[in-house]
Amino acid sequence: MKYFNILILLAGFFTACQPTPKNEKSMSDNPLLSKWETPFGVPPFNQIKSDDYLPAIKEAVKIHEKEIAAIVANKEEPNFENTIVALERSGADLTKIRKVFYAVNAAHTNDTLKTTAKEIAPLLAKHRDNILLNQELFKRVKKIYADNDKLGLNNEDTKLLEKTYKNFNRAGANLGEKEQGRLREINQNLASLSQEFGDNVLDDTNSFELHVTDEKDLGNLAQGYIANAAAEAKKRGHNSGWSFTTQRPSINPFLASSPNKELRKKMIDAYTQRGNNNNEFDNKKLISEMVALRLEKAKLLGYDNYAAYVLSEAMAKTPQAVLSFLDQVWKPALSMAKKERDVLAAKMKSETGQDNFGEEDWRYYVEKVRAERYNFDENETKPYFELSAVVQGAFTLANKLFGITFTENKDLPRWHPTQEVFEVQEANGKHIGILYMDYYARESKKGGAWMNSLRSQSRQGDVFITPVITNNFNFPAPSEGMPTLLTFREAQTVFHEFGHGLHGLLSNVTYESLSGTNVPRDFVEFPSQVMENWTSQPAFLKLYAKHYETGEVIPMEMIQKMNEANQFNQGFATVEYMAAAYLDMAWHMLEEGNVEDVNAFERQVLDKIGLINEIESRYRSTYFNHIFSGGYAAGYYSYLWSEILDADAFATFKESGDLYNQDLASKYRTMISKGGSQDGMELYKEFRGKEPDIKPLLTRKGF
C-alpha cells in the first residue's frame, strides 16, 4: 500500500513542569530539544534514544503553549504578521520532534515507542484543540479574516489566512462551550483508537506464520524469496524448512508460486482475517467506536456525515461527486475482472479438473496464463530490476526532467543501518535537500510504502529552509550474496514514493503548512503516480533496467511481453482497489453510527456493488490502516482520482514526442513546487491548459 504523513496545525496547553527523576535525562541533555549540529541539520539519530521522545514532546508542548499565550496577550491590533504568521511559526520545536517520532515509529518501532505513541496521541489531540478552540485567539484570527479584502495580501498569504480560519472553524471554534467540550473528548478518543488500531494490525500481522517443510510446495519461487523464507524459519526457531508471513514481500510471491491450493488458502485467509480473529488484536469494536465518533463529530460541525466533512476541503467537494466518479470506472473494471476470472478458472480446471476457483488461486493462475498467453515469466524480468539500479533509474529520470542530482552521503546519521541517505542538488550544485531511503521489510516496520517529511521546506525572511524527506518500502532484504531483485510492480513503487519525495524536495513556498505534500488528499497522489508512467516506456527502461550480473539492457522482446502481460489483470487490480474505496465511503457516509456487526456491514456494501466472490477488497475493514489509522478516511478514492490527472499529464509528454520535454518538465516542476498555496485544479489547468480528461486513464487500463 502507498501512503505518507500530511502536516497538520498543532497547538495548545499542557500540564505544569514536573521535577526530573534521577534516572531520567535533564531537558538540556535531551538531543531532541537541542539545536541539531549535524550536517544539513538532519536529526541526530545516532544520539536519540527511544525514551527521549516522550519527555521531549511534553516539553515542546509547554514551549508551544507559551508561544500561543504570547500571541493572545499581544496588545497590538491583530494583523497578519502578529497573529497569522506568528501562529504559523509557533510550535517549531514540537513540529520538529513530532515529525521525527512518527517517522521512526512507523519504520522501526519498539515497545518504548509504541507506549509513547499511545500516550502522546490524546495529549497532542488535546493540545491541538486547546489552540483551535481558544476563543481569544480565534477572535484575532476572525478579525483578520473579515478584513482580508483590505489587507493587500499576495496569493500565498491569502491562502494561509484562509486555511488558518478554516482550521479553527472546522475544529469547532464557532460552537458553544458544551459542544466544544464534547468535541475535545471525541478528538482525544479518536487519537487513541487510531493508534491502537494500527498497533493491532502490526501485531496481528507479525503473529502469523506458515511453516512449509516440503520443497514442492514452494513451486517456482525465486531463489531470493526462498532464502528469505529459510532465514525467517530459523528466526522463528525451526531447524529446517521455510516460513512465510502475511507481510506483502512474503505472502505475494508465495501465492503466485505455490502449487498447493490448501496452503494458498491458509495464507490468504490469514491475510484477510487480520484484526478479525477475536483475539487481543481484534479491531471490530474499535471500528464501531471510531465510525460513531467520527459521525458525531461531523454532525457537531454541521455536516450530514463524516465524508461530507472531509470532502468539503478536497478537490471532489462532495461524497456524491466521489461516488459518481467511482461509478464511471466500476462497471467496465468489473466486466473486465469477470472475463479475467473466467480465463483463470478455465485454466485451473484444465490442469486440475477442479471448478472451485477462489481468491487464493487468482495470483497463481495469473502467472500461469501470462506464461502461456504472452510467453512471459516474471522471474525472467526480475534480474533486470535490481533494487539499487531501480533507485538510480528514478534518480536518472529526475535528472533528465529537472537537472537535479543525488549523491550518497554515508556519514549522515540514520535510524537504521540499512538506510541510504542522499544529498539532492540543482544542476549548478546548489543544495536542495536530503533524501533518506529505507528499503527493507522488518517486524518493526508497518506494511506498505510511504513518504515522510522530517523537515518541510519553508522560508523565514531571507532564510530558505531546505527539506529532509524519507521514502520507506517493504522489499525483501538481500540474502546469501543475492541482491534484492524486484518485480516490475515493485519497481513502480520505487518511482511512486520517489514522486512523493520530489513533491516535498522541490517545494518552493514561504509557509511550512502549505509546502510540499500539504495539499488536498485527492491531489497528493498525482505527483507520485505520474512518475510511474515512465517506468514502462522502452526508451527509459533501457536506461535503468539492466541485468544485475551481465549489465545487459533488458531486451526489447522482453519489454513488449512484460507490458502486454501487465495489461492482463488490470480488471482485478482496479476492482480490488475500488472495492476498498467504496467500503471507505460507505463507512463515512453513514448517518447513524451504531454498526454492531462490522463484518455484516462490510459484506452488505460489497454485495451491493456486485463484487465477485473470487476477489477480496484490497483492504478489509479490520486492517484498513489507510482509513482507520492513516489519515485517508473518506479519501481512499484519491488514488484513482489522481490517476486521471497522472494519465492525462503523461499524455502531454507522449504527445510532444519527447519523454523528457524540458518545457513541460519546467511547467510540471512549477506546479508541484507550489504545494498547497493554490487550488489543485487551478494548478493543474495552469500546467495542462485545461481540465484533465478521463480517456487516457481508461485507455491505459484497457477499458
Sign of CA dihedral 248, 254, 260, 263: negative
Beta-sheet pairing, 463-465 with 210-212 = unpaired
- Closest C-alpha to 378, from 220, 538, 263: 220
CB 610: neighbour CB atoms within 10 A?
12
- Strand ranges (DSSP E) for 496-602? none
Cell digits of residue 486: 524486484
User: Could you tell me if 472 and 506 are in contact, meaning their C-beta atoms sit under 8 angstroms apart?
Assistant: no
User: Could you tell me if 519 and 680 are in contact, meaning their C-beta atoms sit under 8 angstroms apart?
Assistant: yes
Catalytic residue among 497, 532, 602, 643: 497
**Rounded Cα–Cα distance for residues 683 and 642 (Å):** 14
Residue 497 falls in the annotated catalytic set? yes
* Helix extents (H) in 74-176: 86-89, 92-107, 111-132, 135-146, 155-171
**Rounded Cα–Cα distance for residues 163 and 40 (Å):** 30
- Closest C-alpha to 504, from 40, 4, 41: 4
**For residue 440, what are the CA distances in angstroms to 234, 339, 535?**
19, 36, 21
Q: Cell numbers 505513541 label which residue?
A: 117
User: Could you tell me if 529 and 642 are in contact, meaning their C-beta atoms sit under 8 angstroms apart?
Assistant: yes
User: Could you tell me if 3 and 496 are in contact, meaning their C-beta atoms sit under 8 angstroms apart?
Assistant: no
User: Which residues are 451's β-sheet partners?
Assistant: 471
Collapse the DSSP code of 219 into the 3-class scheme (helix H, G, I; strand E, B; otherwise coil) and give the result. coil
- Rounded to 5 degrees, what angle do the CA atoms 635, 583, 121 make? 55
**Rounded Cα–Cα distance for residues 503 and 435 (Å):** 12
- Closest C-alpha to 232, from 214, 248, 245: 245
User: Could you tell me if 513 and 88 are in contact, meaning their C-beta atoms sit under 8 angstroms apart?
Assistant: yes
**Rounded Cα–Cα distance for residues 9 and 286 (Å):** 26
Cell digits of residue 391: 533507485
Task: Say which amino acid occupies 356.
Answer: N
Q: What radius of gyration, in Å, describes the C-alpha atoms of the chain?
A: 25
User: Could you tell me if 691 and 649 are in contact, meaning their C-beta atoms sit under 8 angstroms apart?
Assistant: no
Positions marked catalytic:
497
